[in-house]
Amino acid sequence: MTSDGCTPPSLARCLPRPNRPGGDVGKDFRVSKDLRLSDEQRLDWLRLIRSDNVGPRTFRDLINRYGGAHAALAALPALARRGGASGPAQIFPREDAERELAAAKARGVAFIALGEPDYPQRLQMIDDPPPLLSVRGKLSALARPLVAIVGSRNASAAGLKFAERIARDLGAAGFGIVSGLARGIDAAAHRGSLASGTIAVLAGGHDRIYPAEHADLLESILADGAALSEMPIGWEPRARDFPRRNRLISGLSAGVIIIEAARRSGSLITARLAGEQGREVFAVPGSPLDPRAEGTNGLLKQGATLVTEAADVIAVLEPILGRTLDLPAQEPDLVPRLDGEPGEDQRSRIVSLLGPTPVAIDDLVRLSQTSAAIVRMVLLELEIAGRLERHGGGLVSLI
């Protein structure tokens, strides 16, 4: 089960718990500073994360369970069967993975694995970090303290001016600026920080730039900054990929600045994710009569820090950045977790407790009178079988 010798193999230790404000986020890290996947390991990681029903959280659970991606891939068919999948497990073919790696290389895209030294430090600390990040541009841009700037696509002239100004000022103060390459505020933030280094996080593949008219802007960004994606080369971004992408914008950053956001806009999703990830949320005030300020004024009412200049952001983030993230260099623990296999009666008892209404995993453990390890395993099977949906707050439901 440890045949792929994948490092960092014990993601139970390597992967952090969800970052909570004030929590000792570094406690569970066991990351060697010189960790590097072999080419073969990277291929297995890519196959595993590209396989059906495997997202970042399931990837972590599988690696924790089987000690490495190779062993996890081998286990997928049985897991899907036991979870009651309608057909065989859809495992990402080796050839497709090889083709993706070759295509990435041809475009100057590097894959960085979670736990490798170039992997952005803060992003490791979120609940669901991508196992593999594909990066174009300067990797060094990811090593700075990062601040995200996001906001309306349909921004006012004043909003655009302000975004460009604060991005330039924060860049000059040593921050890298993260944004989403969208029209409006995002583009202005990137433009203001081209010289100091800015990072565009893409919702699609590196060859599917959205919006297309920002292809030139992206090229300018790559000179001193970088573009990031967790999606495959060739992936056309869909609407639901943008909120998913937004968790990376906030996750990379120590804080997120929202400039002009209407009610129920994507920027507010980023703000919410930032809060959940324990990131500082900053908002720029605006007139109560300007609909573009409704979202930001609302954030301020909820306790976001009011920003009118770069100094407001620096004052809050400087002490946070001074804190070390406490990642001790240490050899990884190669032993997979040897949870018991669920028996058929345990599995059916747990499945019978599930339905379309989300229930707490804790309740499942209690009501099924089995162990947390057994429940976790059955949920993993169901997930691989495409039958489980995970909600926030440890809630799950059947699809």
Residues that bind a copy of itself (CB under 8 A): 158-159, 161-162, 284-290, 293-294, 297, 300-301, 306-309, 312
Cβ proximity to a copy of itself: between 257 and 385 the closer is 257
Cβ proximity to a copy of itself: between 205 and 286 the closer is 286
Q: How far is the CB of 164 from a copy of itself (least distance, A)?
A: 12
Cβ proximity to a copy of itself: between 137 and 295 the closer is 295
Q: How far is the CB of 319 from a copy of itself (least distance, A)?
A: 17
Q: How far is the CB of 316 from a copy of itself (least distance, A)?
A: 11
Q: How far is the CB of 299 from a copy of itself (least distance, A)?
A: 10
Q: How far is the CB of 75 from a copy of itself (least distance, A)?
A: 53
SS (H, E, C) the chain: CCCCCCCCCCHHHHCCCCCCCCCCHHHHCCCCCCCCCCHHHHHHHHHHHHCCCCCHHHHHHHHHHHCCHHHHHHHHHHHHHHCCCCCCCCCCCHHHHHHHHHHHHHCCCEEEECCCCCCCCHHHHCCCCCCEEEEEECHHHHHCCEEEEEECCCCCHHHHHHHHHHHHHHHHCCCEEEECCCCCHHHHHHHHCCCCCEEEECCCCCCCCCCHHHHHHHHHHHHHCEEEECCCCCCCCCCCHHHHHHHHHHHHCCEEEEECCCCCCHHHHHHHHHHHCCCEEEECCCCCCCHHHHHHHHHHHCCCEECCCHHHHHHHHHHHHHCCCCCCCCCCCCCCCCCCCCCHHHHHHHHHHCCCCCEEHHHHHHHHCCCHHHHHHHHHHHHHCCCEEECHHHEEEEC
Cβ proximity to a copy of itself: between 169 and 230 the closer is 169
Cβ proximity to a copy of itself: between 231 and 299 the closer is 299
Cβ proximity to a copy of itself: between 312 and 333 the closer is 312
Q: How far is the CB of 396 from a copy of itself (least distance, A)?
A: 37
